[in-house]
Amino acid sequence: MENQVLYYMIKSGHDKVQRLGKDLESLHHTLMQNPLLYADAALKAAIDSEYLARHLRRLVYSASASSKQEYLLRAACSLDISATIDRDGSVVFILPLLLPRRKTVGAKFIADTLSAALNTFVKEHPQLPRFGECTICVTHIYDKALGTKGRIRDYDNLELKEILDVINLYLLEDDSGELCNHYYTTKLGDEDATIISIMENRLFKERFL
């Protein structure tokens, strides 16, 4: 990539850093002066930080094509994204807590890193079959120390579609309603997180019904 283009990309990234700094200043002011608007101010700061991260990713990708997968795997680690297989064959993912749905950013910030992590995961577990008839259980965990007022969202207001599309690509025969059931629940825990478990229908009945 031409140095001139990189220069403007770096300058644009610097501008986004300054915008994020203003968001954090506003967040602090809002917390002190008008706590009722704190959630909206925090959401704006989080969305702007995702724009910044995606912009900086482009700078990494411009270095070489091979750096993209390596970077995304490291990003998955930094976001504490993990995938494991239970003894009963269920697959469990741990992700950051998902944000309320937004048309501009979506869940691509997490979906890209999850895709890289899953690509490596399925290569490391070649014996893992694709799920046919199954249940996808999504547990939203909220940090109990932060309280629940204004934090717990409706399930249809969270950015799950892109995440489930990635899981379908690697682990499902088909994500249609004919084969997949979905179950959503909310719990309080020690920190914010999203846990997605994919299991055979019989196992879901044993665990949840």
Q: For residue 66, what pLDDT is reported? A: 57
Q: For residue 173, what pLDDT is reported? A: 92
Positions of the chain with pLDDT lower than 50, given as ranges = 103-104, 106
For residue 6, the enclosing domain spans 1-63
Contacts of 21 (CB under 8 A, 6+ apart): none
State the Cα angle at 158 between 152 and 163, rounded to 5°.
135
Q: For residue 104, what pLDDT is reported? A: 47
Q: For residue 158, what pLDDT is reported? A: 64
Residues 83 and 132 in one domain: yes
Q: For residue 55, what pLDDT is reported? A: 80
- Total domains in the chain come to 2
Task: State the CB neighbour count (10 A cutoff) for residue 104.
Answer: 7
Residues 40 and 101 in one domain: no
Q: For residue 183, what pLDDT is reported? A: 92
Residues 27 and 81 in one domain: no
The answer to pTM > 0.95 is no
Q: For residue 7, what pLDDT is reported? A: 67
Residues 118 and 134 in one domain: yes
Among candidate residues 63, 81, 97, the one where a domain is terminated: 63
